[in-house]
Amino acid sequence: MKLSVLDLVPVFAPADPGYALEQAVILAQAAERMGYARYWVAEHHDKHGLACTSPEVLLAHIGARTNRIRIGSGALLLPHYKPMKVAEAFRMLAALYPDRVDLGIGRAPGGSAHASIALSGNFLENVRQLPHSLKALMEFLDNGFEMEGQLVTARPVPAIAPQVWMLGTNKKSADFAAQFGTGYVFGQFMSDLDPKEVLCAYREAFKLRCHTEQPKVIAAVHVVCAETEIEALALAAEGIAWMASAESEEQKERMLAQERKMFVGTPAAVKDQLDEFSEKYEVDEFLVMTHIRNYDSRRKSYELLAKIL
């Protein structure tokens, strides 16, 4: 079983954003020492308490301060951007850090309606155009994009291309992943759907459309580990309450509902839960988000999980 890290880069008072970003580097370095396969950062905009608005900038910084761990976006929100610019940014990262870069793509706005409008205009129209954006992005990454019959190349061209993953919580995202031959990250901690239903749809469609590679699946899960169950439950409740405090009433209810989907407990208990999930849904890699309102305790949770797995 592989373990990877998903970092929302939280800003816990009295820390400021600069301190939170440095904690992201420390977590990535610790994850590398612990044997985690990947370190990914999420993209959010005008979100109180979250510091990462530009994954590619933070990943460039973290890549320079780590040596082996794969670095990636979880996710870069493609509806906000032109495909060529995304391809250029992640090809630049792949040239700087060969065979270490993942491009995880998402469809969410990552912020409020007003923030989305300020960033990229009509977000709903951008989402409607997503199939065209994904097609163009994959063509850029495959050196096959043409404009008016003229080949256009996203440079620099790295020796090893970034791995591409689609992130999502439903069949729509799974279908995109299958259609374009990417890996799929199922956001278990955010989804109301049965994982088997979504993952089966991805695998079946992938086999029909793609002939050169096998489907690849990662489950994104929310994990809190501590030495005792009581401590783990307390840390999990505190983290969820902090995340919900910055949301609207509707989003707050959804956030609190996520608590039921969490993997919480001692390392042995969490291992059993992940083993059961892995066997049931045929998933051999977990992208672990740990939201604990203390940087040291959060890092300790990752450490406990890595030791037992």
Mean pLDDT (the chain, rounded):
94
- Summarize the confidence of residues 27-49 as an average pLDDT: 97
Q: How confident is the model at residue 85 (pLDDT cuts 50, 70, 90)?
A: very high
Ranges of H-type helices in the chain: 17-34, 55-64, 83-96, 113-120, 123-128, 130-141, 171-179, 195-209, 229-245, 249-257, 267-281, 295-308
pLDDT confidence of residue 207: 81
pTM (two decimals)? 0.95
The domain spans of the chain are 2-221+285-293
pLDDT, tens digit (0-9, with 9 covering 90-100), for 225-238: 999 999 999 999 99
Q: What CA–CA distance (Å, rounded) separates 304 from 307? A: 5
Residue 71 has pLDDT above 70, yes or no: yes
Confidence of residue 179 (pLDDT cuts 50, 70, 90): very high
Q: Is the pLDDT of residue 99 over 60?
A: yes
pLDDT at res. 241: 87
Report strand pairing: 146-147 vs 150-151. Answer: antiparallel
152 pLDDT band, cuts 50/70/90, is very high
**Would you place residue 182 in the very low, low, confident or very high pLDDT band (cuts 50, 70, 90)?**
very high
Percent of the chain with pLDDT over 90: 89
pLDDT at 211 over 60: no
pLDDT at 249: 63
Structure confidence by residue, pLDDT tens digits, 279-303: 999 998 999 999 999 999 999 999 9
174: pLDDT confidence band, cut at 50, 70 and 90? very high
Tell me the mean pLDDT in the region 43-60.
97
Alpha carbon of 284 to those of 102, 276, 279: distances in Å?
18, 11, 8
pLDDT band at 151 (very low <50, low <70, confident <90, very high): very high
Cβ atoms of 145 and 84 within 8 Å: the answer is: yes
CATH number of 2-221+285-293: 3.20.20.30
